């Protein structure tokens, strides 16, 4: 099963806090096996309530929490884009969501850095 954007985000945030799957399960009252399935993409539609329980334990910043909540409703987001954005705190949720919503012609999808740069340029041009 391919990894999902939500799975990448949850795993990244869990690893930032240096929590094991069992620890996050105990602290959030969510079965650790279910958290693992979310991280690997085996499960894709968690409830808002469940995600909020995980976020209370993961304690992400406001932007990263907003990103996770956005991903709950957008299962098709590119995992590599999610990973890129989580590594660069200067990328706003607006830029991320615009980049995640871009549809590409053909099979060639630009790498996340190129895509973010294009979206930032479009936003900057819009402001002028």
Tens of pLDDT, residue by residue over 5-31, are: 999 999 999 999 999 999 999 999 999
pLDDT > 60? residue 61? yes
Angle at Cα 23 formed by Cα 19 and Cα 27, nearest 5°?
A: 110
What's residue 108's pLDDT? 73
**Domain count of the fold of the chain:** 1
The CATH number of the domain holding residue 87 is 1.10.260.40
pLDDT of residue 109: 77
Mean pLDDT along residues 44-63: 95
Please state the pTM of the whole predicted model. 0.89
Question: For residue 65, what are the domain limits?
Answer: 5-127
């Amino acid at each position: 099963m391919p990894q999902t954007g939500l799975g990448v985000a949850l795993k990244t945030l869990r690893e930032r806090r240096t929590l094991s799957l069992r620890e996050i399960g105990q602290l959030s009252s969510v079965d650790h096996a279910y958290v693992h399935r979310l991280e690997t993409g085996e499960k894709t539609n968690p409830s808002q309530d469940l995600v909020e329980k995980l976020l209370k334990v993961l304690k992400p910043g406001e932007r990263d929490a907003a990103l996770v909540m956005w991903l709950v409703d957008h299962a098709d987001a590119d995992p590599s884009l999610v990973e890129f954005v989580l590594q660069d705190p200067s990328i706003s949720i607006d830029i991320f969501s615009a980049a995640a919503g871009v549809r590409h012609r053909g099979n060639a999808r630009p790498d996340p850095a190129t895509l973010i740069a294009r979206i930032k340029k479009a936003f900057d041009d819009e402001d002028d």
